[in-house]
Amino acid sequence: MVKRWWVMILLLVTVLVGCKRAPAPTLTPIAIASPSAAGPRSRGDTVVASGEVAPVQKAQLSFTLAGRVQTVAVEVGDEVQAGMVLARLEATELEQAVAQAEAALSTAQTALAQVKAGPRPHEIAAAQQEVSAAAANLTAAQAAGDQAQAMLEGAKASAQAAQAGLEAAKAEVAAAQAAIDAAEAELTLLKAGASSQQRGIAKLQIDQARNSLWAAQAQRDAIGGAVERGHMKDADLDAAEAAVGNAHVALSIAELAYEETEARPRPEEIAPLQVQVNGARAALSRAKAQVEAAQAQLDGAKAEVALAEAQVDAAKAQVAAAQARVAQAQAQLELLEAGPRLEDVALTQARVAEAEAALEATESALAKAQLVSPFAGTVTALEVSPGETVLPGQVVLALANLHRLRVETTDLSERDVDRVAAGQRATVYVEALGLDIEGRVVRIASQATTVGGDVVYEVVIELDEQPLNLRWGMSVEVEITTS
């Protein structure tokens, strides 16, 4: 091995210098390739490369969500099992969402079970009772509606009667007022006496009666002379005398009429008219009171009509509601008796599937708030503490399986990689332990990397055994047997 050769050369030089006990001669450096430099390192049937010890499994773990760290359950050096929760973010809202999704799923599953189970006998019986109760309620509502309609008709009749009574009372008021007007006019006329025109007419009537008397007397005298001469009969004279008597009577009547126009009305003449006026006024007051009473009765009747109309409307609404209840109860009964429909089962199954998907989504979101160990291993680094805020992809801790270590080369040249194949044996020299460990090639990188300008390929060596003191990161020299 190259490093072992360097150690042997240095020991030999030290021994030679010590034996001569003289000033050390100037040594000429021998150009030997550095073990870490990539290049042709083949020697016959072997390929040599540097490398380091690394875990078979290692990972830098991070959250896929941003949030505040609630707990960190491990410390550096702790060994953990696969599936163990290493850290948690604060996730109250996500936990509530999961609880709600679980409740929704339970509800959907219960509904599906009920749909599949179909109606139970007591449910059908209850539905039948509901139909009967709804029908009875409809009958009662219809009876109440008929009663309200009858009350409305009665109220309308009362209102019409009250209207007729009001009109009659108003007519009585008008008649009483007319009677008052006539009585007062007559009383006023009586109290005022005859007018000057009436007195003049009465005088003229006296003069007319006197002239008629004079004419009758002259006619009588003429007829009397004619009777004496034998030209007329006694009967003609009697008629003339009667005419004179009638003229005297007419004159007396005219004179009395004139005296009547000149005389003042007597109390016994005024009293009956005053009584008549007072009676007419009392009748007017009674008629007005009857009008007020009739108006009040009409207003009450109208209020009863409005109330009855409202009761009729309410009764109609109750009848409509009762009819709807009967229809609904009958439909529910028919639905129960028909059993579950395929579309109902499919719908509830779809709701269950939807609830399951929602629960799975919320649980998945909640799971992202937990950092879970992907494999059994040891915590090798811890980057956060409780209360810190982390971003998606930010490294929280490093985990490695330190019980299974392997060797990964770091400088296997592109000029040697074509000679290496999986399954070839290899000898690994651990410089820190001074040990050789046997192993075999298990993987060759498909893609090269560049180290110091040289193109190299990583080769993974699986060790046959793992010494207790072997540590991650120790430097090694690898010699691969290619024959």
- In this predicted structure, what is the pLDDT of residue 354? 93
Collapsing DSSP to helix, strand or coil, 25 comes out as: coil
**Burial zone of 437 (CB within 10 Å; 0-12 exposed, 13-18 middle, 19+ buried):** buried
Question: Which token pair is 330?
Answer: 């009958």
Of 62-76, 103-117, 362-376, 386-400, the poorest mean pLDDT is in 103-117
Tens of pLDDT, residues 78-99: 999 999 999 999 988 888 989 9
State how far the Cα of 465 lies from the Cα of 244, in Å rounded to an integer. Answer: 189
Class of the domain covering 35-91+371-481: mainly beta
Rounded to the nearest 5 percent, the helix, strand and coil shares of the chain are 60, 20, 25
State how far the Cα of 237 lies from the Cα of 218, in Å rounded to an integer. Answer: 12
State how far the Cα of 381 lies from the Cα of 391, in Å rounded to an integer. Answer: 18
**Torsion 27-30-34-35 (CA) sign:** negative
Phi, then psi, of 389 in degrees rounded to 5: -100, 135
Residue 380: partners with Cβ closer than 8 Å, 6 or more residues away = 58, 76, 398, 399, 400, 402, 472
Dihedral, 136, 139, 144, 145 alpha carbons, nearest 10:
140
pTM over 0.85: no
Contacts 24+ apart (CB under 8 A), 228-231: none
Q: Has residue 128 got a pLDDT over 70?
A: yes
Mean pLDDT of the chain: 84
User: In one letter, which amino acid is 479?
Assistant: E
Q: Has residue 6 got a pLDDT over 50?
A: no
DSSP of 332-346: HHHHHHH---HHHHH
- In this predicted structure, what is the pLDDT of residue 188? 74
State how far the Cα of 47 lies from the Cα of 478, in Å rounded to an integer. Answer: 8
For the packed helices 196-228 and 234-262, what is the interaxial angle rounded to 10 degrees? 160
What single-letter DSSP state applies at residue 431? T
Collapsing DSSP to helix, strand or coil, 231 comes out as: coil
Of 238-247, 411-420, 438-447, the poorest mean pLDDT is in 238-247
Query: How many Cα atoms are found within 13 Å in the side-chain-facing hemisphere of 148?
Result: 20
Structure confidence at residue 238 as a pLDDT band (50, 70, 90): confident
State how far the Cα of 160 lies from the Cα of 166, in Å rounded to an integer. Answer: 10
In this structure, are residues 459 and 409 in contact, taking their beta carbons and an 8 Å threshold? yes
State how far the Cα of 193 lies from the Cα of 326, in Å rounded to an integer. Answer: 88
Domain coordinates of the chain in residue numbers? 35-91+371-481, 93-118+340-367
